[in-house]
Each structure stands twice: as structure tokens, then as C-alpha cells.
């Protein structure tokens, strides 16, 4: 109860503190301000002096460490945790915007009940009833319970969910969301497994690299651990003795990574693997590069006709040869397989081919060929789209009595063809743990809002870790703003009623659970003698990590073969003349960022457009179809159609159109609702050849003018930046 009260004091005091003042800055001053001091002040609270707490960022699965600046008990700023070995004090745009996850006006306060799904008519119930309903349903459903989770879910929560499901003999949780799919997490991990023997996300060290070939890897914007790659890139650009690495980027569209690259090659969509194969071939046949490279290349290079490959990829052969030589000659050459390739039918082949380049250059990514120490901590394992499909099948077959959904938004993120919503209709009870009403919550019966990540405990075993294992700790930094409850505690409460679960989950609350988990951690970089101190330091430093080890990853590749597979695309060339290039927005990522005004209102780096979604076209395309900026286009694929505004840009291939993911929400709060369109609706539910990934990068589309037009909310002057001063 102190919590609740002291929270209100926080606000009041904050509102009254001489330094604050909403809109009071320059308007005539309010003469009488009420000062409400704390009833019981929290420890080391000094009014007007900032206190900092370390926790984990949950805006994407990377698990960066952040520190939160608190003034009078209100979180006012997020910064990267300078101690944290992953992001080293840095943070990306999405991380910076995290505070609005905490203070979002549309967050739910207390559990909600929806009588008829999709009606959006919720009735508030109190927590006891909510938890009770969950318990009843769980007891009734028995093993016919399923759980669908997202990659940003805390690992401890995953563990609790798994334990609960295991206790009722239900299949383990399915962890899947669009973000990891667009990042190709699962596919790449599998490829690494085939190449190096350990299926984990690769982490490429760029700091000392001479040459970096990035195959559609948007590693400076959204791919896996973008912040860490930013740090790496910074070092890469200013190496000792004025050395400055060479970055070559292969992608059909100019992403911000392509912009920063020294050499950008606009390759045909889905031809990343082909490029890599051709490079291998050239190195092998041309006997290029340092000693031994050609030999190992010969062992791996696929059999292909280089001229033809070059033609298919859209690179002049000379350029390809030049690049092959550069790569082969470089002492420290790195090839990065991006998320984009994982979405195309030949994803695994491409990943292997690209990884083969690393094998040739003798630079294995960190974290895939060294088995990390067992930390005794549970950690999420991502599932493939195939697993989701089987879940959907079970739902459709009525084998699922109750579906739990946490930190993922399938109703928005899954293509219509996956048939999730139809299957959902077969599930008697759907429970959503979303903090806000998102598209999925609209189709659920019971909402038990979880706290935002700045209000709750947890930990994240960082993946990809760059060499040495890292566990980021998560702790509440403010007293909860809304009457939400941590799902961990909810589950533990429910578990008490189920004997098997009670046995498997003996903790009285999640803090207790975490403490016991943390107690088992090996020695950390910081000193900690007693178990208590260990826990305290774990929270204080923002996680656990061993003293920096200098053991460079040793290369132990498994035998594997590289094949030159062509990517296949839905839709024939005549009806659907353009390739569709889908990419996660730098700001909105896969759409979870769309709820935050900070991310909506900040202009996208490439188009400077805010608040809207768009279709990127090549000027030639625009000329052919007589399209101007802002024309609303009907984009049709074999699987669906959306309407989006055109944005003409030279930064894309003439045969390709690009649409960012992230907009087109029907729900997810006032800032996301009804803006732009959701590109996922254009995708099919087909799988990739190998690895069971969603083939989201294998669709062709047609464009048609609707005749309508909207004003583009862009910051740039199109005339200015395109025609400029008009020197010819």
C-alpha cells in the first residue's frame, strides 16, 4: 500500500517541483503550487537530484543494458548502461523511446473481460477475479493449453510459462514474432548449426575487420543487435594507424546500412546466395587472395556459371571479380548474412554460401563455435513459422482449449493466409497479457495486462552474445503507473492451485524465483561475496558477465556443402511485375514501435516521412505509371492487397518496390490506430525450402493508381534534395 501512495506523492511532488512545469515555461506563472512531500520517502531519495537504476531494454530481443534516470521518482531518461558489455552505454532510437512504453496513455489499468470477441467492448474486473478465471480455465483445459510468446518476453517468464505448461502436460510455449522472422534469427541460427555445429545467432566482430561484405544485413538499423553493431562499426571506421575498413553492402534497396557502406551493390532480390557463390567460385578459380584461401574456396564453391550468375544478380562481372579479389586479399574479411535473405525460399542455401565466405577468410562469427558455460538459467528458444503453423493446425482441430498470448501480436504479425484468426475462433478461451489493447487482444476473451519492462523484474540471456556470455538483469525502476500485474506473479499464483505446477514452481513470487536463479550464477566481472550481495550487484550493475576473456573464437567448421539455389517468387512476372522488398522500419521495427509517438513522429532516415507508411518506387517505375509522391497506390500480390502512398526514390532497383513493416494497425493505442497499411497482408504463408521459415521475401506485386492522393508528412524538401541547386 505504501507503493500506491508514495507513487501519488511522486507525481504530485514532481508536478510541484520548481524545475518541472508542464507548459508553464513561458506562460504566466501559477501563483499557488501545492507541495506534497512523501509520506515515507524511498531510500536515497533526494528531491531534485537524479537517481539511476540499471535494467534491460525490451524494445527488441537484443537485450541491451540501460540505465534509467529518475527525478523525484519519475523516469525521465533512458541511457545505455556504460558498464554493459553488449551495448557499452549506447542505445538506439527505439531504446530511447522506451519511456513511452511505461507512460503510454492507452495502457490498461486492471484486467479486462470481453464478452464477444472483436467487439472491443471490455468490462473491467478486479485482479482476483481475473486470476481466478485464468486458474479455472487452466484447471479445466488440462493439457489442451497452448502458449504463444514473443522474443521480447523475459527469459524468466518463458521459464515459468514452460514449467506451468509442462506441469499440465501441455506442449511447450511457441516463441515467434515478426521481428525475429524479419531478422532471420531462426534460419540463420540453423545455418550456423550446419556450418559450425552450434545453432545460435552469429555475432560478427567488425572492430578489427579490413573488409566487410554485408548481404542484405541491415545491421546498422534493425538486424539482431543493431546497437552493438553500431559500436563495432564505429571502431571499424577508426582503427589504429588511420586504418579504415571497407564495407560493401548487397541489397535491392538502399537501407541506411547501404548508405554508410563504401560500396553499395543493388542486387536482384533473393540473389544474395548467388553472389556469395559466385564470389567463392571466382576466388577458387582465380586462385585469388592470401595463401590457402583459394584452396578452401575450391572445397566449398558451388558449381555455377559466373557470367550468368553475375547477370542474374545484376552486378557487372568486373565488379564481381574486383570484389572477390578485395575479399580474398583482405587479412580480416567478414561476410554477414542478413535477415532479408532468410525470408527468401533459398534462405538456408544463401546463408551457408555466405558463411562459406567466412570459412574461406577464416573468420568465424562469435558465439557459434564456442559452447558457452552453463549458467543454470533458462533461456528462450525461438520457434519457426512451421511450428506456428502446427500450432494453428492444432487450434483449428480444436485441440487447444485455451491459448495464452504474451508479448507478441499474431493477429497483426501473421499473414492472413496463415489462417490464425479462423483457427482462433476454434479456441474457447484466449488470454492476452498485453499491456495495451493490440490486434490480438481484440480477439481475446480475457486480458491480464502485464507491466511494462520498466516496472517489472526479469533477466535476458543476451543473444547474440559477442564472444562472452552476458545476462542482462531487469528490475522495476518506478512504482507502477497503472494497475497492471507482472505475469510472472500471476502464473505463480495460478500454479499454487495446480498440484503438479505447485511442485514444479515452489517460489512464492517471481523475485524469489529470480533470486534463486541468480544465486546459481558463476563469478561475475564485479566482486560479489555473499548470495545477497550477488543479487544486489546483479541488479545494480545491470546484469551478470564474466571478466573480459580474450579467447578469440577458433574455427571448427563442420563439413557442409554450398549450392547455388535460385529464389522462387509467388506471382508471375506479367501480372505482378515488381518484386516486393519488405523491411522492418528502423523506428517502428515490426510494428511494436507504432504505438509510441516518439517513434511515429521522428522522420524515417531514408524518406524523412513520419506518421505514415509508403511504397518506395524507382523514378523509372514512377514515370512509367505516372506516379507522383503521395499518390495512393493499390499494391496487389497473389495473397492480398493494400493501399499505400507512393514515395519515389532513386535508392531502389527499378524492378523492385519496398514497403516498410510497422504501420497499418487497427488497434495498439491512439497513436498507432488507422495509419498507413500493414505490408504483411501482402505475404503468403509459404515456407522456405529449408528450415521452416516464413517465405516473406518471395512475393511479386502489381501497382495501380487509385486516383486518390495524400500529402506526404516528410521533413525534407523533395524539390531541394532531388533537383537541388540544379547545377548540371
Partner 1 sequence: MFSSLWWRVGRFVRTSPARLFLLAGVVVAGALALSGSAAPAGTTQPIAFNHQVMVQAGVQCLFCHNDALRSPSPGMPSVELCMGCHKTIGAGRPAIKQLADYYARGEPIPWARVNYVPRFVYFSHKVHLTAGGLNCENCHGDVGHMKVVEPVARMSMGWCLDCHSKQTNAPQLRDCVICHR
Partner 2 sequence: MAEQASLESPVWNRPLPDDPELAAQVREIREKHLLQDARPPREVAEKVLGPMARLGRVFWLALIVLGGLTATWLATWAYQAYQGMGVTGLNRTIMWAPYIVNFVYFIGIGHAGTFISAALRVLKFEWRAPISRAAESLTVFALLVAFTMPLIHMGRVWKFYWMLPFPNQRQLWPNPRSPIFWDMTAIFTYLTCSMLFMYLGILPDIAIAREKASGWRKRLYTVLALGWRGTDREWKHLDTTLNIFSYGIIPVMFSVHTVVSWDFAMTLQPGWNSSIFGPYFVVGALYSGVGAVIIIMAILRKALHLEYFLREEHFNAMGKFLLILSFTWVYFYFNDYLLPWYHKEPILTVIFRLFTSGWAAPLWFTMLIANILIPWATLWSRKVRSSIPALVGVALLVQVGMYIERYLIVAVTLGYPELPFDWAVYVPRLPEILITLGVFAFVVLGITVLSRLVPIIPIWEVVEGQLLQGTRRIGRAIFPAKTEAD
Partner 3 sequence: MSELETRLLDRGQSAAAAPKTELPSHKWTMLIDLDKCTGCNACVVACHVENNVPIRSEREVIRGHGQHWIRIERYWEGEGDAQRATFLPMLCQQCSNAPCEPVCPVYASVHSERENLNLQVYNRCVGTRFCGNNCPYRARQFNWFAPQFEGPITEMLNPDVTVRSGGVMEKCTFCVQRIRRVEEDALVEGRPLRDGEMVPACAQTCPTSAIVFGDRSDPQSQVAQRLGGQREFQVLEHLGTAPNVYYLKAGGSDGGAG
Q: 121: number of CA atoms within 13 Å, CB side? A: 3
Distances (CA, A) of 668 to 19, 241, 711: 33, 50, 24
User: Taking CB under 8 A as the rule, does residue 5 contact partner 1?
Assistant: yes
**C-alpha closest to that of 436 among 716, 673, 130:** 673
DSSP letter (8 states) at residue 668: S
Interacting partner of 35 out of partner 3, partner 2, partner 1, none (Cβ under 5 to 8 A depending on kind): partner 1
Choice between 260 and 568, CB closer to partner 3: 260
Interacting partner of 92 out of partner 1, partner 2, partner 3, none (Cβ under 5 to 8 A depending on kind): partner 3
User: Taking CB under 8 A as the rule, does residue 230 contact partner 3?
Assistant: yes
Q: What φ, ψ does residue 672 adopt, rounded to 5°? A: -95, -25
**C-alpha closest to that of 273 among 561, 604, 703:** 561
Question: Which stretch, 117-125, 167-175, 492-500, 648-656, contacts partner 3 (CB under 8 A)?
Answer: 648-656
Choice between 29 and 605, CB closer to partner 1: 29
Q: Are 580 and 700 in contact (CB under 8 A)?
A: yes
Q: What φ, ψ does residue 65 adopt, rounded to 5°? A: -85, 135
160, 200, 217, 231: which one contacts partner 3 (CB under 8 A)? Answer: 231
Q: Helices 347-361 and 293-300: crossing angle, nearest 10°?
A: 160
Of residues 42-81, which lie at the interface with partner 1 (CB under 8 A)? 46-49
What are the helix (H) ranges across 332-372?
A: 339-342, 347-361
CA–CA dist 675, 614 (Å, integer): 11
Minimum separation from the CB atom of position 79 to partner 1 (A): 19
1, 3, 25, 40: which one contacts partner 3 (CB under 8 A)? Answer: 25
Minimum separation from the CB atom of position 650 to partner 2 (A): 16
CA–CA dist 623, 252 (Å, integer): 19
Of residues 79-118, which lie at the interface with partner 3 (CB under 8 A)? 79-80, 87, 89-97, 99-100, 102-105, 107
Element (H or E) spanning 634, and its range? Answer: strand 631-637
SS3 545: coil
Q: Write each residue from 17 to 46 as x if it is in contact with partner 1 (CB under 8 A), else as -, in one continuous string.
A: xxxxx--xxx--x-xxxxxxxxxxx----x
27, 44, 116, 530: which one contacts partner 3 (CB under 8 A)? Answer: 27
Choice between 19 and 719, CB closer to partner 2: 719
Minimum separation from the CB atom of position 400 to partner 1 (A): 46
In the block, residue with C-alpha cell 523525484 = 72
Q: Write each residue from 666 to 705 as x if it is in contact with partner 3 (CB under 8 A), else as -, in one continuous string.
A: ----x----x------------------------------
CA–CA dist 81, 55 (Å, integer): 8
User: Taking CB under 8 A as the rule, does residue 650 contact partner 3?
Assistant: yes
**C-alpha closest to that of 218 among 592, 664, 658:** 658
Of residues 453-482, which lie at the interface with partner 3 (CB under 8 A)? 481
Interacting partner of 516 out of partner 2, partner 3, partner 1, none (Cβ under 5 to 8 A depending on kind): none
200, 266, 282, 514: which one contacts partner 3 (CB under 8 A)? Answer: 266
Of residues 197-226, which lie at the interface with partner 3 (CB under 8 A)? 220-221, 226
280, 602, 680, 699: which one contacts partner 3 (CB under 8 A)? Answer: 602
C-alpha cell at 78: 533512458
Residue 707: count of CB within 10 angstroms of its CB: 8
Is 220 exposed, middle or buried (CB count within 10 Å of its CB: 0-12, 13-18, 19+)? Answer: buried
Question: Which stretch, 126-134, 239-247, 299-307, 701-709, contacts partner 3 (CB under 8 A)?
Answer: 239-247
Residue 238 makes CB contacts below 8 A (sequence gap 6+) with: 244
CA–CA dist 299, 562 (Å, integer): 9
Distances (CA, A) of 490 to 59, 127, 373, 495: 23, 9, 31, 9
Question: Which stretch, 234-242, 456-464, 562-570, 694-702, contacts partner 3 (CB under 8 A)?
Answer: 234-242
Residue 494: count of CB within 10 angstroms of its CB: 21
Minimum separation from the CB atom of position 3 to partner 1 (A): 11
Minimum separation from the CB atom of position 599 to partner 3 (A): 7
Interacting partner of 39 out of partner 3, partner 1, partner 2, none (Cβ under 5 to 8 A depending on kind): partner 1
54, 78, 211, 644: which one contacts partner 3 (CB under 8 A)? Answer: 78
Interacting partner of 719 out of partner 3, partner 1, partner 2, none (Cβ under 5 to 8 A depending on kind): partner 2
SS3 133: helix
Q: Which residues bind partner 2 (CB under 8 A)?
A: 26, 716-717, 719-721, 724-727
For binding to partner 1 (CB under 8 A), which residues are involved?
1-2, 5, 8-9, 12-13, 16-21, 24-26, 29, 31-41, 46-49
Amino acid at each position: 500500500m505504501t507503493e500506491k501512495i508514495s507513487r501519488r506523492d511522486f507525481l504530485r511532488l514532481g508536478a510541484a517541483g520548481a524545475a518541472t512545469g508542464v507548459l508553464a515555461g513561458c506562460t504566466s506563472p501559477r501563483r499557488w503550487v501545492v507541495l506534497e512531500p512523501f509520506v515515507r520517502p524511498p531510500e536515497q531519495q533526494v528531491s531534485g537530484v537524479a537517481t539511476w537504476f540499471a535494467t534491460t531494454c525490451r524494445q527488441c530481443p537484443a537485450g541491451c543494458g540501460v540505465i534509467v534516470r529518475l527525478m523525484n521518482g519519475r523516469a525521465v531518461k533512458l541511457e545505455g548502461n556504460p558498464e554493459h558489455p553488449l551495448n557499452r552505454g549506447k542505445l538506439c532510437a527505439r531504446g530511447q523511446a522506451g519511456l513511452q512504453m511505461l507512460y503510454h496513455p492507452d495502457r490498461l489499468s486492471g484486467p479486462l473481460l470481453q464478452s464477444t470477441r472483436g467487439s472491443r467492448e471490455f468490462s473491467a474486473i478486479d485482479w482476483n477475479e481475473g486470476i481466478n478465471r485464468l486458474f479455472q480455465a487452466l484447471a479445466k483445459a488440462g493439457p489442451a493449453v497452448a502458449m504463444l510468446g514473443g522474443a521480447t518476453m523475459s527469459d524468466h517468464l518463458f521459464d515459468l510459462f514452460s514449467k506451468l505448461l509442462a506441469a499440465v502436460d501441455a506442449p511447450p510455449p511457441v516463441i515467434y514474432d515478426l521481428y525475429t522472422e524479419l531478422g532471420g534469427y531462426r534460419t540463420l541460427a540453423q545455418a550456423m548449426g550446419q556450418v559450425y555445429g552450434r545453432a545460435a545467432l552469429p555475432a560478427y566482430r567488425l572492430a578489427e575487420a579490413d573488409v566487410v561484405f554485408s548481404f542484405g544485413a541491415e545491421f546498422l538499423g534493425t538486424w539482431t543487435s543493431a546497437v552493438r553493431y553500431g559500436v563495432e562499426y564505429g571502431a571499424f571506421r577508426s582503427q589504429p594507424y588511420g586504418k579504415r575498413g571497407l564495407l560493401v553492402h548487397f541489397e535491392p534497396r538502399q537501407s541506411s546500412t547501404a548508405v554508410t557502406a563504401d560500396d553499395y551493390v543493388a542486387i536482384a532480390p533473393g540473389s544474395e546466395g548467388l553472389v556469395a557463390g559466385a564470389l567463392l567460385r571466382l576466388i577458387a578459380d582465380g586462385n585469388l587472395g592470401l595463401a590457402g584461401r583459394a584452396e578452401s574456396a575450391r572445397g566449398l564453391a558451388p558449381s555455377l556459371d559466373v557470367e550468368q550468375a553475375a547477370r542474374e544478380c545484376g552486378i557487372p562481372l568486373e565488379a564481381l571479380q574486383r570484389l572477390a579479389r578485395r575479399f580474398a586479399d583482405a587479412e580480416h574479411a567478414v561476410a554477414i548474412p542478413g535477415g532479408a535473405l532468410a525470408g527468401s525460399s533459398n534462405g538456408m542455401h544463401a546463408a551457408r554460401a555466405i558463411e562459406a565466405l567466412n570459412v574461406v577468410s577464416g573468420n568465424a562469427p562469435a558465439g557459434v563455435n564456442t559452447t558457452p558455460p552453463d549458467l543454470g538459467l533458462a533461456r528462450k528458444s525461438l520457434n519457426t513459422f512451421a511450428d506456428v503453423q502446427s500450432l494453428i493446425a492444432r487450434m483449428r482441430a480444436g485441440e487447444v482449449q485455451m491459448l495464452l498470448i504474451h508479448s507478441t501480436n499474431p493477429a497483426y504479425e501473421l499473414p492472413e493466409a496463415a489462417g490464425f484468426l479462423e483457427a482462433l475462433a476454434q479456441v474457447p478461451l484466449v488470454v492476452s497479457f498485453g499491456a495495451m489493447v493490440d490486434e490480438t487482444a481484440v480477439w481475446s476473451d480475457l486480458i491480464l495486462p502485464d507491466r511494462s519492462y520498466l516496472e517489472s523484474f526479469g533477466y535476458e540471456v543476451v543473444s547474440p552474445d559477442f564472444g562472452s556470455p552476458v545476462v542482462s538483469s531487469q528490475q522495476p525502476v518506478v512504482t507502477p503507473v497503472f494497475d497492471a500485474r507482472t505475469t510472472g506473479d500471476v502464473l505463480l499464483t495460478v500454479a499454487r492451485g495446480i498440484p503438479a505446477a505447485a511442485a514444479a514452481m515452489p517460489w512464492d513470487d517471481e523475485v524469489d524465483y529470480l533470486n534463486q536463479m541468480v544465486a546459481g550464477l558463476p563469478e561475475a566481472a564485479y566482486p560479489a561475496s555473499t548470495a545477497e550481495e550477488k543479487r544486489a550487484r546483479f541488479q545494480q550493475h545491470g546484469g551478470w558477465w564474466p571478466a573480459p576473456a580474450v579467447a578469440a573464437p577458433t574455427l571448427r567448421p563442420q563439413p557442409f556443402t554450398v549450392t547455388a539455389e535460385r529464389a522462387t517468387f509467388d506471382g508471375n512476372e506479367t501480372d505482378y511485375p515488381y518484386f516486393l522488398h519488405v523491411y522492418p522500419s528502423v523506428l517502428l521495427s515490426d510494428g511494436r514501435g507504432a504505438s509510441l509517438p516518439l517513434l511515429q513522429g521522428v522522420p524515417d532516415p531514408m524518406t524523412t516521412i513520419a506518421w505514415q507508411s509508403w511504397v518506395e518506387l524507382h523514378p523509372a517505375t514512377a514515370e512509367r505509371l505516372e506516379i507522383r509522391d503521395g499518390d495512393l497506390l493499390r499494391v496487389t500480390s497473389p495473397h492480398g492487397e493494400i493501399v499505400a502512398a507512393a514515395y519515389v526514390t532513386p535508392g531502389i532497383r527499378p524492378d523492385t518496390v519496398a514497403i516498410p513493416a510497422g504501420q497499418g494497425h487497427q488497434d495498439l493505442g491512439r497513436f498507432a490506430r488507422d495509419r498507413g497499411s500493414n505490408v504483411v497482408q501482402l505475404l503468403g504463408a509459404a515456407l522456405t525450402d529449408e528450415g521452416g521459415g516464413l517465405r516473406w521475401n518471395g512475393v511479386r506485386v502489381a501497382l495501380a493508381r487509385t486516383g486518390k492522393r495524400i500529402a506526404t508528412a516528410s521533413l525534407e524538401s523533395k524539390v531541394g534534395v532531388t533537383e537541388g541547386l540544379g547545377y548540371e
